[in-house]
């Protein structure tokens, strides 16, 4: 479905922009249709930058990205725009996905309006359907984001993201701002939607337990470089890179600290 070859991103600085700070460095990976790739790594390792390059919200400095057979980086603006509905993103902070001035209903309807999907009445029906799909009561449609809980907002962000029936969905730490029980509900919802819509997912988290639960294969970023990638089960059972081992140990320690069956 999506394939990256030697993708890098650097920001230039200094005299004549001669200094290059690599944020993502020579990353190659692939996600198969309908599967989930878990992307792990500590804060600042380049996860969000890599994810945004995969849907060309951030322009890569080098490398090649192929989306469903299409050379993503060769596309000019109009062709890229045509592709937009097929790839969507849900951010860590739902307030990034939702306009504070719009009602939740209007936010979820917005992609349908922009892409002129359906007439007014059909659109209203579709919004109600989308609310149902993400488990939001239709009464909430008239509220604004500040009148919802974090979990409800993230459900609304999901509804908006799936409104145009994307094939590829990026979830950038979608539950990092939520408490554990709400986190579990949202993640189950994501799995249900994935099955129902045959979604290909990039699931970003610094939490290896969540990566283990959500993903078929996984990749670990460290200072912008891919230090490990492969089947999730195999990596979590027997990590080969010292950095992954450290991350796993840290996860186990925090488990012991906070109790195991949370
Ligand atoms: N526009 C920019 N100019 C310069 N540096 C940037 C820019 N955007 C991001 N960076 C740097 O790139 C690095 C990686 O950032 P990124 O947001 O991709 O990390 P991350 O792994 O998603 O972190 P987190 O887990 O905290 O979300 C950071 O050091 C950040 O400061
Ligand atoms: Mg990030």
φ, ψ for residue 119, nearest 5 deg:
-80, 180
Please report the pLDDT score of residue 259 as a whole number.
Answer: 58
- CA-proximal residue: ligand 1, atom 1 (nearest): 11
User: What digits encode the pLDDT tens for the residues 33-70?
Assistant: 999 999 999 899 999 999 999 999 999 999 999 999 99
For residue 255, the Cα-to-chain-centroid distance in whole angstroms is: 25
CA angle (212 as vertex; 201, 214 as ends), nearest 5: 30
> Which two structure tokens, joined as six digits, stand for 55?
């849907």
The pTM of this model reads 0.91
Whether residue 25 is predicted with pLDDT greater than 80 in this model: the reply is yes
Q: Any idea which ligand is nearest the CA of 52?
A: 1
Task: List, as one string, the DSSP characters of 169-200.
Answer: EEEESTTTTS-HHHHHHHHHHHHHHHHHHT-E
Residue reference for tokens 């730490």 = 173
User: What digits encode the pLDDT tens for the residues 73-94?
Assistant: 999 999 999 999 999 999 988 8
Q: Any idea which ligand is nearest the CA of 39?
A: 1
Q: Containing H/E element for 161?
A: helix 150-162
Please report the pLDDT score of residue 16 as a whole number.
Answer: 76
Looking at the chain, the number of H-run helices and the number of E-run strands are 10, 10
Whether residue 261 is predicted with pLDDT greater than 60 in this model: the reply is no
Q: Any idea which ligand is nearest the CA of 23?
A: 1
Q: Residue ranges of the domains in the chain?
A: 2-12+19-258
Whether residue 214 is predicted with pLDDT greater than 90 in this model: the reply is yes
Please report the pLDDT score of residue 177 as a whole number.
Answer: 81
User: What digits encode the pLDDT tens for the residues 116-150?
Assistant: 877 888 899 999 999 999 999 999 999 999 999 99
Fold held by 2-12+19-258:
Rossmann fold (3.40.50)
**Cα(188)–Cα(181) distance, rounded to whole angstroms?**
11
Distance 51 CA to ligand 2 centre (A): 9
From the alpha carbon of 46, which atom of ligand 1 is closest?
18
20 vs 193 pLDDT, higher one = 193
- The 8 Å CB, 24+ separation contacts for 157-160 are 157/90, 157/91, 157/94, 157/97, 157/98, 158/90, 158/134, 158/186, 158/189, 158/190, 158/193, 159/108, 159/130, 159/131, 159/133, 159/134, 160/97, 160/98, 160/107, 160/108, 160/110, 160/111
Please report the pLDDT score of residue 262 as a whole number.
Answer: 43
User: What digits encode the pLDDT tens for the residues 217-241?
Assistant: 999 999 999 999 999 999 998 888 8
Please report the pLDDT score of residue 70 as a whole number.
Answer: 95
**Cα(241)–Cα(90) distance, rounded to whole angstroms?**
29
User: What digits encode the pLDDT tens for the residues 147-184?
Assistant: 999 999 999 999 999 999 999 999 999 888 888 889 99
44 close to ligand 1 (CB < 6 Angstrom): yes
Please report the pLDDT score of residue 219 as a whole number.
Answer: 96
Distance 120 CA to ligand 2 centre (A): 36
Kindly indicate the confidence band of residue 258, based on its pLDDT and cuts at 50, 70 and 90: low
28 vs 207 pLDDT, higher one = 28
Cβ atoms 156, 132 nearer than 8 A: no
Kindly indicate the confidence band of residue 257, based on its pLDDT and cuts at 50, 70 and 90: low
Distance 121 CA to ligand 2 centre (A): 38
With 0-12 / 13-18 / 19 or more C-beta atoms within 10 angstroms meaning exposed / middle / buried, residue 179 is exposed
- CA-proximal residue: ligand 1, atom 18 (nearest): 46
52 close to ligand 1 (CB < 6 Angstrom): no
């Amino acid at each position: 479905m999506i394939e990256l070859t030697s993708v890098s991103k650097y920001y230039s600085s200094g005299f004549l922009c001669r200094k290059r700070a690599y944020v993502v460095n020579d990353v190659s990976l692939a996600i198969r249709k309908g599967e989930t790739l878990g992307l792990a790594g500590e804060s600042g390792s380049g996860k969000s930058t890599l994810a945004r390059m995969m849907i060309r919200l951030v322009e890569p400095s080098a490398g090649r990205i192929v989306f469903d057979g299409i050379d993503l980086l060769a596309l000019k603006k109009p062709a890229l725009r045509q592709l937009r509905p097929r790839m969507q993103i849900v951010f860590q902070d739902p307030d990034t996905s939702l306009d504070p001035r719009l009602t939740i209903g209007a936010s979820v309807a917005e992609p349908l309006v922009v892409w002129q999907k359906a007439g007014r009445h059909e659109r209203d029906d579709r919004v109600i359907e989308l609310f149902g799909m993400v488990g939001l009561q239709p009464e909430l449609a008239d509220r604004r984001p500040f009148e919802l809980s974090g979990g409800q907002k993230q459900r609304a962000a999901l509804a908006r993201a799936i409104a145009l029936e994307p094939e590829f969905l990026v979830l950038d730490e979608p539950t990092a701002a939520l408490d554990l029980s709400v986190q579990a509900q949202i993640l189950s919802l994501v799995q249900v939607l994935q099955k129902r819509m045959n979604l290909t997912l990039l699931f970003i988290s610094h939490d290896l337990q969540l990566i283990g639960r959500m993903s078929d294969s996984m990749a670990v970023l460290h200072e912008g470089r891919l230090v490990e990638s492969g089947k999730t089960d195999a990596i979590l059972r027997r990590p080969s890179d010292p950095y992954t081992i450290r991350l796993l140990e840290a996860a186990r320690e925090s488990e012991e600290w906070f109790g195991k069956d949370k």
